[in-house]
């Protein structure tokens, strides 16, 4: 099993996994146009992989991506008297069903946690589903005060 940062050659698999992840947890989306989604996701992934803002971690088994976690760096406005480091937003955490519950997701998350420490990112924020809360807890994540939200009408 190879845990690494995604590359351009991974885009097709990442698109398929995003589709599968969405359909698995929301079957009402299965009637959406795959072609439209594919085009939008392709553009997003090409831009993300060519930026210093997005980092997509994958676990690969025999050239097949079986798990991934997306990280977006959020840069903060500098403050006098301290060095300002970005924080990380974690999203799109997914492992294909046949690779679940064997520790793979925790191995990917551990790799990311070490990367976070090495790069001195201030913290990681993730909004887990109710089902995923224990996964994060067992990997050192804690509940924080809920952020405030604004939805424009």
| pTM, to two decimals | 0.92
**pLDDT at position 151 over 90:** no
Instruction: Give the pLDDT score at 14.
Output: 98
Instruction: Give the pLDDT score at 101.
Output: 92
**pLDDT at position 21 over 90:** yes
d(CA 22, CA 16): 10
Q: What is the mean pLDDT of residues 130-143?
A: 90
State pLDDT tens for residues 69-99: 999 999 999 999 989 999 999 999 999 999 9
Q: In what order do the strands lie in the sheet with 54-61?
A: 2-5, 54-61, 64-74, 87-95, 124-125
- Which listed CATH number (3.40.50.300, 3.40.630.30, 3.40.50.11540, 3.20.20.70) goes with 2-137? 3.40.630.30
**pLDDT at position 51 over 80:** yes
The token duo for 32 is 């959406």
**30: confidence class by pLDDT, cuts 50, 70, 90:** confident
d(CA 9, CA 28): 30
The token duo for 147 is 């952020």
């Amino acid at each position: 099993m190879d845990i690494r940062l995604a590359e351009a050659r991974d885009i097709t698999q990442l698109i398929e996994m995003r589709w599968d992840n969405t359909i698995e947890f929301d079957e009402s989306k299965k009637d959406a146009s795959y072609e439209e989604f594919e085009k939008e996701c392709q553009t997003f992934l090409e831009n993300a992989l060519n930026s210093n803002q997005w980092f997509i971690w994958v676990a690969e088994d025999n050239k097949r991506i079986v798990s991934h976690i997306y990280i977006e760096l959020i840069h903060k406005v500098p403050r006098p008297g301290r060095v300002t480091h970005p924080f990380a937003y974690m999203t799109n955490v997914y492992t294909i069903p046949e690779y679940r519950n064997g520790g793979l997701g925790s191995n990917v998350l551990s790799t990311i946690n070490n990367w976070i420490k090495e790069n001195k990112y201030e913290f990681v924020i993730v909004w887990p589903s109710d089902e995923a809360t224990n996964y994060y807890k067992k990997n050192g994540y804690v509940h924080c005060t809920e952020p405030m939200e604004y939805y424009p009408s």
